[in-house]
Structure 1
């Protein structure tokens, strides 16, 4: 995806997606708060330095939220944050005219909604009776 965004001239999207890929790998190895904060700072810093359009702010926001989710959350809360990330990237990809990127993110949104639904359905039901 990084090369794809570079070819579209979207340097912020390319930079943020590369950091996001590294972040995802690292988050499987550690849940360290300082490491998480380092990634959030890098995503925001690199993202703002390379910003070429307001739509790319969404990639910075979404990827930062997803970073916190991958390091600190689980279950439905994590997937809700990842869903927000996918929606941010979906809008960005649509704005850039990336048909493939839009299709990928749309697929992620559908899969994430399905996962949230399955997790919610499998959770123990709380009685609303008093």
Structure 2
């Protein structure tokens, strides 16, 4: 097996890891699965020679896990600055700025939003990654991000319709987030 096909096989594994992620209403489970997917994709991009994307996506994995416990503005800014510095240094073509922009947008979403708003921003981030992956020739990356674009898009519509009918698809998560925010403000 050539290194090209080995890299594509790793992309295929990432496809399998990530394909069900956006069905998850549990924000913590969603974030763990996103971090696992990002880790595998980082390996795929390093093997493909797409180092800016690889750096961006490994920072995404670390950032996603961190956002489970800390949603502070300064922690978010650290990850945005790290992404700008470490990933931007690896850019060799202008289109490689798309995954960096997508990573910054999703960083902001994971630290500052939740529910439907978070998923909507993640959808825009995914559009950046799909474009990059097509350009980079990443079969697994294009398939998985294209699937994310479709699945997350359908779920955004589904969750929006639920909210219009008075059903909060994120009720449990909203309660947990509110309690955590109240606890954090009491500790200040």
Q: TM-score band, normalised by the shorter chain? A: over 0.9
1:88 aligns with 2:128: yes
Report the TM-score, using the length of structure 1 for normalisation. 0.92
Greater share of helix: 2
Name the count of aligned residue pairs: 126
Q: CA RMSD in A?
A: 1.3
In the TM superposition, structure 1's runs of 4+ consecutive aligned residues that sit over 6 Å from their partners are: none
Aligned equivalents of 1:28 and 1:53: distance in 2?
33
Report the TM-score, using the length of structure 2 for normalisation. 0.64
Cα offset, 1:92, TM superposition: 0.5
Aligned equivalents of 2:158 and 2:43: distance in 1?
34
The higher radius of gyration belongs to: 2
Stretches of structure 1 that go unaligned for 5 or more consecutive residues are none
| Contact kept? 1:76, 1:116, Cα under 8 Å | yes
State the match for 1:55 in structure 2: 95
Cα offset, 1:115, TM superposition: 1.7
State the match for 1:103 in structure 2: 143
Cα offset, 1:102, TM superposition: 0.0
| Contact kept? 1:5, 1:13, Cα under 8 Å | yes
